Amino acid sequence: MKKLLDLISEEMQQAFEAAGYDKELGKVSLSNRPDLCEYQCNGAMAGAKKYKKAPIMIANEVAEKLADSKVFSDVSAVAPGFLNLKVKEAFVTDYLRNMRADKKFGLEEAKEPKKIVIDYGGPNVAKPLHVGHLRSAIIGESIKRINRFAGHEVIGDIHLGDWGLQMGLIITELQKRQPDLIYFDENFEGDYPKEPPFTISELEEIYPTASKKSKEDENYKAEAMEATFKLQSGVRGYRALWNHILAVSVADLKRNYENLNVDFDLWKGESSVHDLIPDMVAYMKDGGYARISEGALVVDVKEETDTKEIPPCMILKSDGASLYNTTDLATIMERMKEINPDEIIYVVDKRQELYFEQVFRCARKTKLVKPETELKFLGFGTMNGKDGKPFKTREGGVMRLENLIKEINEEMYKKITENRTVEEEEARKTAQVVALSAVKYGDLSNQASKDYIFDIDRFISFEGDTGPYILYTIVRIKSILNKYKEQGGSIEGVELQDAVSESEKALMLEITKFNSMMEAAVEEIAPHKICAYIYDLANAFNRFYHETKILAEEDKEKQKGWVALLILTRDILETCIDLLGFSAPERM
Residue 122 found at the interface with ligand ARG (CB under 6 A): yes
Instruction: Compute the chain's Rg from CA coordinates.
Output: 29
* Nearer of residues 168 and 467 to ligand ARG, judged by Cβ: 168
CB of 366 to ligand ARG, least distance (A): 17
Binding residues for ligand ARG restricted to 432-491, rule: CB under 6 A = none
**Only segment of 3-11, 18-26, 60-68, 119-127 that touches ligand ARG (CB under 6 A):** 119-127
161/268 Cα distance (integer angstroms): 9
Residue nearest ligand ARG (C-beta atom): 122
Residue 257 found at the interface with ligand ARG (CB under 6 A): no
CB of 122 to ligand ARG, least distance (A): 3
CB of 318 to ligand ARG, least distance (A): 23
Over the window 276 to 315, marking each residue x when it contacts ligand ARG by CB under 6 A and - when it does not, the resulting string is: ----------------------------------------
* Nearer of residues 159 and 361 to ligand ARG, judged by Cβ: 159
CB of 205 to ligand ARG, least distance (A): 20
CB of 548 to ligand ARG, least distance (A): 49
Q: Cβ distance 326 to 315 under 8 Å?
A: yes
**Given 11, 119, 334, 510, the residue binding ligand ARG (CB under 6 A):** 119
**Only segment of 118-126, 408-416, 484-492, 531-539 that touches ligand ARG (CB under 6 A):** 118-126
Question: How many amino acids of this chain bind ligand ARG (CB under 6 A)?
Answer: 8
The 3 state secondary structure assigned to 135-181 is HHHHHHHHHHHHHHHCCCEEEEECCEECCCHHHHHHHHHHHHHCCCC
**Given 130, 135, 152, 159, the residue binding ligand ARG (CB under 6 A):** 159
CA distance from start to end of the chain = 35
178/172 Cα distance (integer angstroms): 10
Other CB atoms within a 10 A radius of the CB of residue 34 amount to 11
CB of 114 to ligand ARG, least distance (A): 19
Binding residues for ligand ARG restricted to 325-354, rule: CB under 6 A = 328, 346, 348
CB of 267 to ligand ARG, least distance (A): 14
**Given 84, 124, 446, 466, the residue binding ligand ARG (CB under 6 A):** 124
500/109 Cα distance (integer angstroms): 33
Residue 162 found at the interface with ligand ARG (CB under 6 A): no
- Of the candidates 111, 117, 114, 121, the one whose C-alpha atom is nearest the C-alpha of residue 337 is 117
* Nearer of residues 145 and 159 to ligand ARG, judged by Cβ: 159
Q: Cβ distance 408 to 456 under 8 Å?
A: yes
- Of the candidates 179, 188, 171, 184, the one whose C-alpha atom is nearest the C-alpha of residue 223 is 171
- Of the candidates 149, 150, 152, 160, the one whose C-alpha atom is nearest the C-alpha of residue 374 is 152
**Given 161, 237, 312, 341, the residue binding ligand ARG (CB under 6 A):** 161
* Nearer of residues 164 and 585 to ligand ARG, judged by Cβ: 164
DSSP secondary structure of 460-482: T-SSSSSHHHHHHHHHHHHHHHH
Binding residues for ligand ARG restricted to 53-72, rule: CB under 6 A = none
DSSP-derived pairing of the beta strands 153-157 and 115-119: parallel
- Of the candidates 236, 227, 243, the one whose C-alpha atom is nearest the C-alpha of residue 321 is 227
Q: What are the CA-CA distances from residue 50 to residues 5, 16, 21, 180 (Å)?
A: 25, 14, 10, 90
- Residues of this chain that interact with ligand ARG (CB under 6 A) are 119, 122, 124, 159, 161, 328, 346, 348
